[in-house]
Amino acid sequence: MQSFLDMALALLVAERRLVEPAALQECILEQRRRSGEPLGQLLVRRRLVAPRDLLALTRAARAVVFVCATCRGAMAYGEVDPRAPPRCPRCGGRVAARSASGPTPATPASRSPSSTETLPVEDSPRPRADTRRGPSSAPSGSALRGGASLIGRRFGPYEVLRELGRGGMGVVYEARQARLERRVALKVLLGGDLSSAHHVARFQREAELAARLKHPNIARIHDVGVVDGLHYYAMDLIEGRPLADLLRESAIEVHRAVEIARDAARALGHAHRLGVVHRDVKPGNILVDEGGRAVVTDFGLARELDADAAARLTRSGAQVGTPRYMSPEQAGGRDDEVGPASDVFGLGVVLYELLTRRPPFSGSDLGELTRRISEDDPPPPSRCARGIPPPLDAVVLEALAKRPEDRYPSGAEFADDLERFLRGEPVLARARSPLERSWRWLRSRALLAGGSLAGGLLVAGLLLVPAGLGRSVPGESAPK
């Protein structure tokens, strides 16, 4: 829901031509659809506005005036709650924002040439640290929304050295904890004290869940807290690179690809044993350190298996995760079916890409991609790349089964079968005959079709499968 502050920021961004009108309108529409993310945070997340510029815009918002379309009453910014919905406090009518010096409310579509002749954002003075706290103090949360100015400063017990990256919710820095002479990765919530209660709760939940997990293939959490209004947590600094970068650069040898997937599966298996589902397994959330160890990171979308509906931060029916790595149940918004096997599917997609350098599912748009994830079987990896033996085909396709109950039940079992392959032992996954693949396909379609239609599909499918194709495929896979 839009707030007074959102309306003021939209006006200022449009007046100063900081963002193309179409891009600004898209952000406003996305904000309405998602109903919760502040406009400023959305602009920063999309890299349309720098965090430092958001700070200056927020200060400039104090000069914005709001006019009621019903009673024509005018309100200064200081007379309203910036986070409240933009309604007139006198009559409840809709309000519009305008610059204190402008005669009429401005919008991206009805902007007069003179309304853009304002000082650029860069002319606003930069925030200063509160010198009463000493030279090692960090600026307040209101002065560091987005955290860009943390570099080179002291932040609680940490000295912030450089930015490592940023995502939809936070910025990650490399920092040094002077007292322990330890370097850490410091994640700070974007938006500072402008963050919505929903995003603060999600950030804190991410830290709490990750702090439970103590495993060599998961980045450990060392510290969680708030410094001057900025929520943060400190975790292991992994000296390495995201798997996504390695995947883009060059082909990864088959044995090495399986080792990476095994490490990630072990991490997920540990999380699953403790009742935590990651829900966003992808190459960007797997780091490979200098010793070749894979480490799973970013539990921002993680969920407890035993959490009741009231404690969940995701609305029912919503797609959660990165589309290309979603399981069929995630792509279909079937939240009650999401569990450890959903993470297995995501990691199966990652392994498929490592082996073939192509995704198992693709589409021209999100709708087509979702349909293919839910309905289409990918070709075995060996059809897309050389040097992949049948047992590894079987393992990957087991992870990518449509129904959760047809996959490995958790990351632990997936890791065990990958380890068997690495040791040259028979794997538990086995190649599926054409008859079995047809049966699985029909069974999955029966969930979507009516009873009589499902029965018709089943009979037709059995009649179309040639005799003799149901025999087991010999190979190195062990029978289940």
CA dist., res. 124 & res. 335, Å (int): 46
CA dist., res. 46 & res. 31, Å (int): 12
DSSP assignment of 160-186: EEEEEEE-SSEEEEEEEEGGGTEEEEE
In 3-state terms, what secondary structure has residue 71?
coil
Q: Which among 6, 280, 298, 335 is annotated as catalytic? A: 280
Contact status, residue 386 vs residue 284, Cβ threshold 8 Å: no
Distances (CA, A) of 197 to 167, 203, 230, 260, 361: 18, 10, 13, 37, 36
Give the start-end residues of each E strand in 153-249.
Answer: 154-155, 158-166, 170-177, 182-189, 221-227, 230-236, 240-242
CA dist., res. 106 & res. 96, Å (int): 8
CA dist., res. 277 & res. 342, Å (int): 8
Q: 177 phi and psi, to 5 degrees?
A: -95, 100
DSSP assignment of 401-420: -SSGGGS-SSHHHHHHHHHH
Task: Check if 223 is active-site.
Answer: no
Q: Which residues contact 62 (CB under 8 A, 6 or more apart)?
A: 77, 78
Catalytic residues, by residue number, are 280
